[in-house]
Amino acid sequence: MNLPANPAASGSAYLQTFKVFVFVIGFILVSFYLLSSILLTVIISFTLYALIEPFTNYLIRKDVNHSLAIVFILMLMLTFSIIAISFALPQLLGQINILKNKLPFIFSQFEHFLTVYSQKLGDFIGIDLNVSDILISVLSQSSSLGNTLLVAISEQFLAITLSLILVPILTYFILKDYKSLRNNLMNWLPNRNFELGWIIYYRVTCQLQAYIRGVMKQSLIMAIVSSLGFYLVGLDIPILVGTLTGLLNLIPYIGPLISMLLATLVASAMTPFDPSIIYLSISVIFVAQAIDNFLVIPSVIANAVDLHPVLVILGVLIFGNLFGTIGVILAIPALATAKIFYTNLYSDIYNASQKLP
């Protein structure tokens, strides 16, 4: 028999859930801060774990030794990556060099467009908008920021390189020992929370693995579609711009807008200048987004996450401010995980309170 809803029990359950939830989130944030130097390594390793585990499990079911199966899959992936990079890297480096040579003209065209349209806007609203002075100030600040960023990157280059070298080693041990470590950690849970812990873990891991595999496929499809589209419309450096479009698609809502701006700047720097290339390049991104939203997301990502768009936007902004680029990428899976944890925790606490006399 279903028990009637008890407002007092519901309020108490919300309060208890909130306290536990805040404690766990605080613990995770502190852990992220302490692990910030190797956070990129951990994220990449667990992403590879989510991608590789099904293949290693398949080999294990075929009576292949566990460690041998892991090494075989890692070596196969490394070999494929080296071959792919050997073909793609020269093309990308060549297109990056072209973009570097075009940057002065791109900024010149950008300034011209802003000047023309700001004059029209100024005449319309009756205000004199001096875009040139604004641009000079912004570009000088951007240049200073860029130099600071380059110095920071050069200082951290060795640490980043060492972190990436550790990725295959950490991935190997995660594939080999993760399940036993997980079981040991689960055994620390009190008996009354043991079942709840496994339920939350199962739902979170299923959702995160589905999401990771989905966004990897989504990014690859977007890069291929965009590169092909840019090539067909005659945009310069189509492979580079298409690849960046695929990567930027990992950033919800903001990524496609940055891709449009990038394609517009590259198209505006082409000689002879042809405005139709700008419109066609933007159309390519719209078509790619339509394919992504109507075909890729329903079939590849499906219901991996069920989050309100406003929550996604706020999450991206907050995580971006806290953790930078990595935070922007982690925002959606982190929010999805928090939602699963909170709803299951509340349900368990509320049901337990209903059973009390």
Give residue-wise pLDDT tens across range 284-340.
999 988 888 777 776 666 555 666 667 777 777 777 777 766 777 777 788 888 888
Query: What pLDDT, in 10s, does the model give residues 139-170?
Result: 555 445 444 544 554 555 555 566 667 888 88
pLDDT at 228 > cutoff 90: yes
Alpha carbon distance 272, 270 (integer Å): 6
Alpha carbon distance 168, 304 (integer Å): 27
The pLDDT value recorded for residue 3 is 42
Domain spans in the chain, listed from the N-terminal domain onward: 189-351
Burial letters 127-144, b for 16+ CB under 10 A, else e: eebebeeebeeeeeeeee
Q: What is the pTM of this model?
A: 0.62
- 2 or 296, greater pLDDT: 296
- 76 or 100, greater pLDDT: 76
Q: If you count DSSP H runs as helices and E runs as strands, how many of each does the chain have, helices first?
A: 9, 0
Q: DSSP character for 119?
A: H
The pLDDT value recorded for residue 23 is 82
